[in-house]
Chain A
Amino acid sequence: MKLSEIKELLQCEVLAGEDDLSVDILQVVASDGMSEILAFAKSRELMITGLTNIQSIRTADVAGVSAVIYCRGKRPDKKVIDFAKQKKIPVLVTSMVMFDICGILFNRGLKGVS
């Protein structure tokens, strides 16, 4: 599923990388624990988290995920968004909670990484 479709489904606002949301997402990792993301991401996943500090983008970069969605309407500060732009990682935010996001994406055929 294209990231642009996910954006519409989850009613996201795009904070970084809005010029290209064409990346194809096949799998999802969702956690507030960065080590869990690092343990399970194999690269090119969508990362969903409620953690909005600089380590969330560092983790996304190290894990090699394709995009980050912040849930529960939590917004990172400008420094974090700028860092994501520098690393060319699209960043989106939605007011939905993590459980609902995962349910919606799972229903559309996306799977978690195990």
Chain B
Amino acid sequence: MTAMELLRERYEIQGKNFDKAGEVAGEIKVVLRDLGIDAAHLRRLVIVAFEAEMNVVMYAQRGTMTLIVTDEDINLETTDEGPGIPDIELALQEGYSTASDEMREMGFGFGMGLPNMKKNSDEFRIESNTGKGTSVFSKIRLPAHE
């Protein structure tokens, strides 16, 4: 049986705009709460969304976030036009960071973002083209389907 799609939303993220950084994750939180997603799963997805959004804002020119909720799972795909990640395995190590001082002054870029996203996801995948951009896929299975 295929999963029934309950919601599909696409959000634009502006690169380098630190004032707005986090607004998309905030909107996603409201949307998921309105859908009746339980607090624990909602929290995990919003952490993934917030970290993904911050990465786009910090590193890329622009990006999009697509949220697809089915009766089985929540899927979040974040795609950006940015520098890409040359070594994904290295980028996933806690503490590894390529952040600038400006990013760290914003409270981000301590080498925890991607590991946090992976930890909160049931399925997690990064695809990246150096010089072109990065896509990050995250799936969180909903209670009846874990």
With contacts A35-B116, A62-B29 taken as known, whether A54 is within 8 angstroms of B22 at the C-beta atoms is yes
Closest Cβ–Cβ distance, residue A95 to chain B (whole Å): 21
Q: How many residues from A make CB contacts under 8 Å with B?
A: 20
CA of A33 to CA of B18, assembled, Å: 15
Q: Counting chain B CB atoms within 10 Å of each CB, which of A39, A43, A61 scores highest?
A: A39
Interface SS of chain A? helix
B124 near A: Cβ within 8 Å? no
Query: With A and B bound together, what is the CA distance between A61 and B21 in angstroms?
Result: 14
Interface residues of B in 14-69 (CB under 8 A from A): 18-19, 21-22, 25-26, 29, 39, 43, 46-47, 50-51, 54
Chain B residues within 8 Å of A34, by CB? 54, 107-108
Q: Does B116 lie within 8 Å of A62, measured CB to CB?
A: no
Nearest A residue (CB) for B110: A33
Residue A73 at the chain B interface, CB threshold 8 Å:
no
Residue A22 interfacial (CB < 8 Å) = no
Q: Using Cβ atoms and an 8 Å threshold, which residues of chain A touch B22?
A: 54-55, 58, 62
CB–CB A64/B43 < 8 A: yes
Q: Is A13 an interface residue (CB 8 A)?
A: no
Taking a contact as CB atoms under 8 Å apart, the answer to whether B107 and A55 are in contact is yes
Residue from the list A39, A51, A62 in contact with B107, Cβ < 8 A: A51
The answer to whether B47 and A55 touch across the interface, beta carbons within 8 angstroms, is no
B126 lies within 8 A of chain A by Cβ = no
Contacts of B113 in A (CB 8 A): 35
Residues of the B chain whose Cβ atoms lie less than 8 Å from the Cβ of A33: 107-108, 110, 112
The verdict on B119 contacting chain A, using a C-beta distance below 8 Å, is yes
A-B contact pairs, 17 of them (CB 8 A): A33-B108, A35-B108, A35-B110, A38-B51, A38-B116, A39-B112, A39-B115, A39-B119, A43-B43, A54-B21, A55-B22, A56-B107, A59-B107, A62-B25, A62-B46, A63-B47, A64-B39
Given pairs A35-B108, A36-B110, A38-B47, 12 additional interface contacts (CB within 8 A): A33-B107, A38-B51, A38-B116, A39-B112, A39-B115, A49-B107, A53-B18, A54-B21, A62-B25, A62-B46, A63-B43, A64-B43
Interface residues of A (CB under 8 A from B): 32-36, 38-39, 43, 49, 51, 53-56, 58-59, 61-64
